[in-house]
């Protein structure tokens, strides 16, 4: 299984679609459009921040635990499906779900009890995946690294109201914190081989030369990991350049 990773607006879903079509495999997308909790979570962050600013230092976001449980439950199901065939592509890692829960707990949006319960649930899921597959939950991690400015530009472009910093004054701090947590996460992640794409330098959406460069690099990595033959990789590269 190939897993995309990266901050909000980095282009994970777009690359998931591009890569799955390139490889002729299936894409598995994060539940966003059909997620009834996500808008509530953003509103809950804003409400909790206002309460803390007014002196209630114990104020939490009542939707944090619900949202992260929603995500990790869906992710667990998608991983089990994705592992059934070779080179299927998942647009976020289950390990990133843990990152979001940790950050939100540190920010005061979730309680220590909620975090401990979430961690226990996640570990049970990871143990089950290990038992069922005999391997880690992904064979290759592709991380799209972007700056704060690039992230905001792409968030504006896709136009989800609840993600816009203009509509929520707490979001700039939230996004910048998230970038820092991702930087730390990259340093300790060791569950699979990882490939890092510079999302500021390469525009794999609009620039076909950039897209071909990224796909070439990914296919070379899959050859090294024995998930593609050298002949299959060369055939894919030739077809793209016709």
- What are the residue numbers of the active site? 91
- Burial of residue 58 (CB within 10 Å: 0-12, 13-18, 19+) is exposed
- 108 known ligand binder: no
- 7 known ligand binder: yes
> Which tokens sit at 155?
């968030």
- 147 known ligand binder: no
d(CA 62, CA 45): 9
- 42 known ligand binder: yes
> Which residues lie across from 2 on neighbouring strands?
89, 140
- 184 known ligand binder: no
- Phi, psi dihedrals of residue 182, rounded to the nearest 5°: -65, -40
- 155 known ligand binder: yes
- 12 known ligand binder: yes
- 18 known ligand binder: no
d(CA 135, CA 94): 15
- 174 known ligand binder: no
- 97 known ligand binder: yes
How far from 209 is each of 86, 202, 240, CA to CA, in Å? 27, 9, 11
- 84 known ligand binder: no
b (16+ CB within 10 A) / e for 89-125: bbbbbbbbbbbbbbbbbebbbbeeebbeebeeebeeb
d(CA 185, CA 208): 30
- 117 known ligand binder: no
Specify binding-site residues for ATP: 6-14, 154-158
Specify binding-site residues for substrate: 30, 42, 68, 92, 97, 163
Specify binding-site residues: 6-14, 30, 42, 68, 92, 97, 154-158, 163
């Amino acid at each position: 299984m190939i897993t995309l990773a990266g901050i909000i607006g980095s282009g994970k879903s777009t690359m998931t679609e591009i890569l799955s079509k390139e490889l002729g495999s299936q894409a598995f997308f994060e539940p966003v459009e059909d997620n009834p909790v996500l808008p509530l979570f953003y509103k809950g962050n804003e409400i909790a921040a206002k309460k803390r600013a007014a002196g209630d230092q114990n104020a939490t976001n009542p939707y944090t635990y619900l949202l992260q449980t929603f995500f990790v439950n869906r992710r667990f199901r998608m991983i089990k499906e994705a592992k059934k065939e070779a080179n299927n592509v998942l647009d976020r890692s289950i390990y990133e779900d843990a990152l979001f829960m940790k950050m939100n707990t540190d920010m005061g949006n979730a309680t220590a009890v909620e975090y401990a319960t979430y961690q226990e649930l996640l570990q049970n899921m990871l143990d089950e995946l290990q038992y069922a597959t005999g391997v880690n939950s992904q064979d290759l991690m592709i991380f799209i690294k972007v700056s704060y400015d690039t992230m905001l530009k792409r968030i504006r472009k896709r136009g989800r109201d609840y993600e816009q910093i203009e509509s929520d004054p707490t979001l700039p701090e939230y996004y910048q914190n998230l970038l820092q947590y991702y930087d730390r996460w990259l340093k300790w992640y060791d569950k699979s081989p990882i490939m890092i794409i510079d999302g500021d330098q390469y525009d794999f959406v609009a620039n076909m030369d950039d897209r071909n460069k990224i796909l070439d690099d990914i296919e070379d990595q899959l050859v090294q990991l024995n998930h593609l033959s050298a002949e299959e990789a060369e055939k894919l590269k030739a077809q793209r350049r016709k």
